[in-house]
Chain A
């Protein structure tokens, strides 16, 4: 059985984490939440997906790959990546998305930047006992509760917090806390709260994940794609806010005198026109239709075939931040919403 403790409040845990880690947590700003360094503010543990996924801490929007100088030959310097950091309050869906990155940036060609940061990152996850309108993690089995792959796991029990320990690194933090172990009653309350949360999820993907590959392959030329693409801005909001999207571009920032420079990576998006453009201006996905379809199918099928990890974890960010809201089945819906996209494709031709 996992070791579990019962906390009255979170301060004691946060103080203890801060001793060894730079702590990132969901913070509130203008009524919304974003993942940032926790200083004086209060970390928010209610279920609210942050505007940007926590992937930005392990794989920043724009990151320095290395700096170089070209005076008396070349010298190259990589930025330090060994900062010990804790992701406090990361949701189960986002943890699953992070495991997806482990597969994409792992395997045959490891991404050293990802892995250096990943190794130094403590995952202090938080189960969702309440869910937001946009969530559909239960369709993927990626939430609202987390079973494994955490160092520490919090559950808000209303009369305190359950803290489960999932790794030796987590144990090192927990051992410093002078709090009692949790009882049977706490664990069964957690199970009850999570069952209630699961039951309260309204959004359901119309097709089972295992059947999605065939479903989408059969509907590659379905007429529903075109009207969807017609109202898409190709703005990239849906992929940039997505915790599983890993595409990036590389560019160079160099000193005017060409004596020094910095190579950077920057998130890219398959929704942008220039994404699949190559030399001489040829573009593999020039039309909006091709791009819209690519994102949808890559998320819902190809990524799983390629990396054995789902390209969607049901976090609902794309649902929330897509600026295009067409009326489907009699109500305004987010164009980027995977549940609605599948819904459109389920309609008979």
Chain B
């Protein structure tokens, strides 16, 4: 067996729920064995080890989205210091929940929340690979422990991990679920993004009769226009469709296409959707 991978976990804009998952997962049994392949030299939530300047890492997990200009410098530094960079969780991969704000002018957001917006240094939220090359993405809100294990042991064994590219529907049928997109009517819970969202979550949502809201971002080559048409056919409003596509991964080119479908906008930003205009 190879030496342990010298690992650091960095947190940017997010709820830290994905790193909490590492402390929380107890199963399957081999999960702890997998963690044993990693030597965490920096992991704030779990160890008191301090960050060493100019250290070198075999593996760096970057959790969270990028939302200040200093963040950009920090991730660039991490990239230089690390052999492998893993985008860790939905926020790193696609911006996550806070990326909803990107569809509203930054000034507007700041005025709504802060008494003194001119003090604010934040920029629009971005996924990590907007600024640096990311070698692997662990998607999802939160990440999935089986996928985590697959990635880590593959890296330790120096082979390519088997990360699913196909849509959630495949795993949904494997679980013998009834299709809520087809069978449930008139409720938001039937607005399932499964046909365009990448699998790997083992259908946490549809297993419980909840629509997939796309937390893992787009599958490879999804059919977005057809998804929009399907939602429209089910009678969902423009606002509902927009909201569904932008909840977690609206910044991905694919989902932003779905969100833009109604507004015919060129970029995800700068113009307010109709429903906000009032």
- List residues of chain A with CB under 8 Å of any chain B CB: 29-32, 34, 36, 51-52, 61-62, 230-237, 240-241, 251, 254-258, 267, 269, 272-274, 288, 320-321, 323-325, 332
Known: A272-B166, A274-B165, A288-B221. 6 other contacts (CB 8 A): A34-B176, A233-B196, A233-B223, A240-B170, A256-B153, A257-B1
Main SS of chain B's interface residues? helix
B224 CB to closest chain A CB (Å) equals 10
Q: Do B37 and A256 touch across chains, with their CB atoms under 8 A apart?
A: yes
Q: Do A237 and B169 touch across chains, with their CB atoms under 8 A apart?
A: yes
**B157 touches A (CB below 8 Å):** yes
CB neighbours of A236 from chain B (8 A):
166-167, 169-170, 173
Closest to A237 in B: B169
CB neighbours of B209 from chain A (8 A):
30
CB neighbours of A240 from chain B (8 A):
169-170, 173-174
Q: Do B165 and A235 touch across chains, with their CB atoms under 8 A apart?
A: no
**B179 touches A (CB below 8 Å):** yes
Closest to B209 in A: A30
Q: How far is the CA of A34 from the CA of B73 in the complex (A)?
A: 53
Q: Which of B152, B166, B167 contacts A256 (CB 8 A)?
A: B152
**B233 touches A (CB below 8 Å):** yes
Q: Do B153 and A52 touch across chains, with their CB atoms under 8 A apart?
A: no
Q: How far is the CA of A21 from the CA of B195 in the complex (A)?
A: 38
Q: Do A52 and B220 touch across chains, with their CB atoms under 8 A apart?
A: no
A-B contact pairs, 23 of them (CB 8 A): A29-B178, A31-B178, A31-B183, A52-B176, A61-B174, A232-B226, A233-B196, A233-B226, A236-B166, A236-B169, A236-B170, A237-B169, A237-B179, A254-B157, A256-B36, A256-B153, A258-B1, A273-B165, A274-B166, A288-B223, A323-B194, A323-B230, A324-B226
- Tell me the residues in window 178-221 of chain B with beta carbons closer than 8 Å to chain A beta carbons: 178-179, 181-183, 194-196, 209, 220-221
**Given A236-B166, A321-B182, A324-B226, are A254 and B174 neighbors across the interface (CB < 8 Å)?**
no
CB neighbours of B167 from chain A (8 A):
233-236
Q: Which of B149, B162, B183, B227 contacts A233 (CB 8 A)?
A: B227
CB neighbours of A269 from chain B (8 A):
166, 170
Q: Do A256 and B178 touch across chains, with their CB atoms under 8 A apart?
A: no
- List residues of chain B with CB under 8 Å of any chain A CB: 1, 30, 33-34, 36-37, 149, 152-153, 156-157, 162, 165-167, 169-170, 173-174, 176-179, 181-183, 194-196, 209, 220-223, 226-227, 229-230, 233
B175 CB to closest chain A CB (Å) equals 9
Q: How far is the CA of A31 from the CA of B176 in the complex (A)?
A: 13
| 6 nearest A-B residue pairs (beta carbon) | A233-B195, A235-B169, A61-B174, A256-B33, A256-B34, A235-B195
Q: How far is the CA of A45 from the CA of B167 in the complex (A)?
A: 33
CB neighbours of B229 from chain A (8 A):
231
Q: Tell me the total A-B contact number using a CB cutoff of 8 A.
A: 104
Q: How far is the CA of A269 from the CA of B221 in the complex (A)?
A: 16
CB neighbours of B173 from chain A (8 A):
51-52, 236-237, 240-241, 321
Q: Do A234 and B221 touch across chains, with their CB atoms under 8 A apart?
A: yes
CB neighbours of A273 from chain B (8 A):
165-166, 220-221
Q: How far is the CA of A34 from the CA of B179 in the complex (A)?
A: 13
Q: Which of A62, A231, A251, A255 contacts B33 (CB 8 A)?
A: A255
Closest to A32 in B: B178
Q: How far is the CA of A235 from the CA of B230 in the complex (A)?
A: 14
Q: Do A32 and B183 touch across chains, with their CB atoms under 8 A apart?
A: yes
Interface centre among B34, B169, B179 (most CB of A within 10 A): B169
Q: Do A325 and B152 touch across chains, with their CB atoms under 8 A apart?
A: no
CB neighbours of A234 from chain B (8 A):
167, 221, 223
A155 CB to closest chain B CB (Å) equals 27
CB neighbours of A258 from chain B (8 A):
1, 153, 157
Q: How far is the CA of A237 from the CA of B223 in the complex (A)?
A: 14
Q: Do A256 and B149 touch across chains, with their CB atoms under 8 A apart?
A: yes
CB neighbours of B152 from chain A (8 A):
256
Q: Do A256 and B223 touch across chains, with their CB atoms under 8 A apart?
A: no
**Given A236-B170, A323-B179, are A251 and B153 neighbors across the interface (CB < 8 Å)?**
no
Q: Do A231 and B223 touch across chains, with their CB atoms under 8 A apart?
A: yes
B200 CB to closest chain A CB (Å) equals 13
CB neighbours of B230 from chain A (8 A):
323-325
CB neighbours of B182 from chain A (8 A):
320-321, 323
CB neighbours of B220 from chain A (8 A):
273-274
A69 CB to closest chain B CB (Å) equals 14
Closest to B174 in A: A61
